[in-house]
Amino acid sequence: MSIERLSWKLVLILTLLALMGGTLSCEEEMETGPRAWIDYPRDKSSVPVGAPVSVISHAYARDGVAEVLLSVDGEAYRRDPPAQPGATFSEVTQEWLPPEEGNYTLQVVTYDTAGETSNPAMISIRVVGEVALVPTEEPPAEPTEEPTAEPTKEPTAEPTEEPTAEPTEEPTAEPTEEPTVEPTEEPTEEPPPPSPAQVSFNADDTSLDQGECTTLRWDVEHATAVFLDGGGVPGHSTQQVCPASTTTYSLHVEAPGGNVDQSVTVEVKAPPPPAQVSFKADDTSLVQGECTTLLWDVEYATAVFLNSGGVPGHGTQQVCPDSTTTYDLHVEAPSGSVDRSVTINVSAPPDTTPPPVPSPLKPQGNLACFQDVMLRWSAVSDESGIAGYYIKREIEVKKGQWQTAGGWGPVSGEELQVDVDCGVYYRWMVRAQDGAGNYSDWSPWLDFSISLE
């Protein structure tokens, strides 16, 4: 009996060891595939709308990390390689810009160099708006009244009357008679009086603008001396003057018949003020189909023209140019004409139309057992150009149950060589991305299988 019991114990121990070995081997196999996890932000955290969020994740792959795919609400957002492509363990930072408030699910998947993918690491993020601070109001200070001083009255002095002196009479002396002497010679005739001086004094122009000149002219007859503003001059002459302000010029004439003074005043008008011109647009960069408003304010002008059409000195005008356009403002003023211009730059509307959907062509059906096959699809074109193609492949693990078996992109050209396993049923699809960043829809699935032999 003791030998039988010992045998049973040995059998039980061996059985337990075998079971533990199988479990450990399964766990070891499960740990060998790619893995991904998100370090930041934390699950169920909140972030502000409109601010970029840095999604920090770690990726592991025994065969080396090829890239990390960030998806938002199940839609691929961006793919990024690690800092050291092919490293077994790497940290990846990807920026995500929340478009609006709401709840979002972020998902990170690791792709290894063999095309294998990890299970997705997922977190939930709530995007909220910013809260504006309400300023506090302070009560206004009470006004203080200052006393006003009463005016004081000063006494007025009464005028005093002074006595007037009585005039005194002086005695007048009696005239005395003197004897007259009779002339001995006959009287001579007196010479005629001298002729009066004849003076002409004027200016060619007595009203000037600042900076202009005029000529003084004078003609004098029967004079002994002539002075212009204190300086001696000939009796018949001219002199150019350019006064900076209104000035009076004086001509003094000395003659036996009597002195003569004449003057001429030359008025100098102040220069007109320069035209003041302001010309601008609310927005000088538009997308085709948008409008903007031109604004102008003009002072000290006689006429204003916008693109050769007369307009008031203060006005606005809405414009909706189809292409880049320059608007000209011409101002006429006494001080001189002024020209201003504003250029409105018009750009084409952004391309938001996705490119056509490419069609998968080969392979399809049952293929012989190869190590790799060539996936081929139809090329598509777009006005913005084609930036590349993205390919998604799945394998059938059970009847009607599919599992991701690799993804590639962006791929240039219309074919991609991928590795396959014999005895596996595959399906794949393709989509295109244009130069403006728009993605087409995914193409229909194309199935193919690889024989065991």
**Partners of 267 in the β-ladder:** 207
Q: Is the domain of 38 the same as that of 93?
A: yes
* Domain assignment present for 23: no
End-to-end Cα separation, the chain, in angstroms? 55
For the record, the structure tokens of 114 come out as 């063999």
Q: How many residues does the chain have?
A: 453
365-389 pLDDT, tens per residue? 888 887 889 999 999 999 999 999 9
Q: Is the domain of 254 the same as that of 291?
A: no
Q: Is the domain of 205 the same as that of 244?
A: yes
Q: Confidence band (pLDDT; 50, 70, 90) for 133?
A: very low
* Domain assignment present for 28: no
**pLDDT of the residue at 185:** 57
* Domain assignment present for 441: yes
* Domain assignment present for 289: yes
User: How many angstroms separate the CA atoms of 296 and 210, rounded?
Assistant: 30
Domain encompassing residue 297: 276-347
Q: Which of 7-11, 43-47, 200-204 has the lowest mean pLDDT?
A: 7-11
Closest CA to 58 of 30, 89, 81: 89
**Range 118-140 average pLDDT:** 69
* Domain assignment present for 412: yes
Percent of the chain having pLDDT more than 90? Answer: 58
Q: Which of 137-146, 279-288, 375-384 has the lowest mean pLDDT?
A: 137-146
Q: Confidence band (pLDDT; 50, 70, 90) for 3?
A: low
Q: Is the domain of 37 the same as that of 85?
A: yes
Q: Is the domain of 264 the same as that of 282?
A: no
Q: Strand, coil or helix: what is 4?
A: helix
* Domain assignment present for 355: no
Q: Is the domain of 366 the same as that of 443?
A: yes
- List strand residue ranges (DSSP E) for 20-178, in order: 35-40, 45-48, 53-60, 65-72, 75-80, 89-96, 102-112, 121-128
* pTM for this model (two decimals): 0.38
**Range 185-199 average pLDDT:** 74
User: How many angstroms separate the CA atoms of 230 and 345, rounded?
Assistant: 68
Q: Is the domain of 292 the same as that of 263?
A: no
**pLDDT of the residue at 32:** 72
Q: Is the domain of 286 the same as that of 338?
A: yes
208-252 pLDDT, tens per residue? 988 899 999 999 998 888 999 999 998 899 999 999 999 999 999
* Domain assignment present for 92: yes
Q: What angle do CA 306, 310, 311 make, to 5 degrees?
A: 75
Which of 235, 269, 303 finishes a domain?
A: 269
Which of 319, 347, 375 finishes a domain?
A: 347
Q: For all residues of the chain together, what is the average pLDDT?
A: 83
295-313 pLDDT, tens per residue? 999 999 999 999 999 999 9
Q: Which residue has the tokens 């059985």?
A: 15
Considering its fold, how many domains does the chain have in total?
4
Closest CA to 421 of 448, 443, 389: 448
Which of 295, 323, 347 finishes a domain?
A: 347
Q: Tell me, what CATH number does 38's domain have?
A: 2.60.40.10
* Domain assignment present for 209: yes
Phi/psi at 144 (nearest 5 deg)? Answer: -105, 140
**pLDDT of the residue at 45:** 93
Q: Is the domain of 263 the same as that of 292?
A: no
